[in-house]
Amino acid sequence: MGTYSLKDRVVFITGASAGIGAACARGFAREGARLLLAARRVERLEAIRKELLDAGAAAVHNFKLDVQDREAVESAIGGLPEEWRAIDVLVNNAGLSRGLDKLWEGKPEDWEEMIDTNVKGMLWVTRAVVPGMVERGRGHVVNLGSTAQELAYPGGGVYCGTKAAVKLINDGLREDLLGTPVRVSDIGAGMVETEFSEVRFRGDQERAEKVYQNITPLSPDDIADAIVWATTRPAHVNVAHMIVTTIDQANSLMFNRRSQ
């Protein structure tokens, strides 16, 4: 059987303004999809609209959304224009990490932001979108995982815990959807050079750059390629779980850092 065509299908990406989210938008644009893009920084979405249309997107619809706000999620998705409601692919990409403190010295506000975005935000969006997929008899949910979901690292206990939750919620959703045509995938990313570390260290550029020193990290496009691949498999194929790392990474603790 041939690949699953996303031409003219609605692909909804959260956190689409930068990094992996923006790379996914470009990847799905090349498939001829109709792009439904959400982010807190909607001006960044508008800045890449022409690029996405030039790359092949059938249409682009941007809107501002903070996935932490359950009422905002329900209102935004429930209020979509009719031509954008039949979401075929949902990419739950919005996520972040804050701080690298020892757990017993951690900042509760950092914990709340990570849990509210990475776990609860994913749940709010999933709850708003998946019923329509079941009703229409087609759809694919992609959740952004991490090597952190498989092995914790010092200072990252809460972040790693949120990503472990993503994997188990992903698996539970797939079990709950058994018997429907809706697919569910967890695509786990290793070290990717994005704004992730800058966000973690609240704008400390120097500290963020050290994360990637003497190593070849993945690019956002590498993860986007994996996501597009998973969603374009034949309709009977479900990529349940995938971990993608640079060749210089074995897991969330082990890296090959060259001397120069």
Residue 216, helix vs strand vs coil: coil
pTM: 0.94
The pair phi, psi for residue 200, each rounded to 5°, is -55, -40
1 has pLDDT over 80? no
Q: Please compute the mean of the pLDDT values over residues 223-228 and round it to a whole number.
A: 98
Give the angle subtended at the CA of 76 by the CAs of 17 and 140, to the nearest 5°: 70
Which residues, other chains included, contact 255 with Cβ-Cβ below 8 Å and sequence gap of 6+? 191, 215, 248, 249
Q: How high is the pLDDT of residue 80?
A: 97
Q: Which helix (H) or strand (E) holds 61?
A: strand 59-64
Q: Give the confidence band of 197 by pLDDT, cuts at 50, 70, 90.
A: low
Active-site residue numbers?
159
pLDDT in tens, 35-44: 999 999 999 9
**CATH assignment, 10-244:** 3.40.50.720
Which residues, other chains included, contact 128 with Cβ-Cβ below 8 Å and sequence gap of 6+? 73, 74, 77, 78
215 has pLDDT over 80? yes
Whether the Cβ atoms of residue 126 and residue 176 lie closer than 8 Å to each other? no
Query: Among all chains, which residue has been given the structure tokens 């609605």?
Result: 10
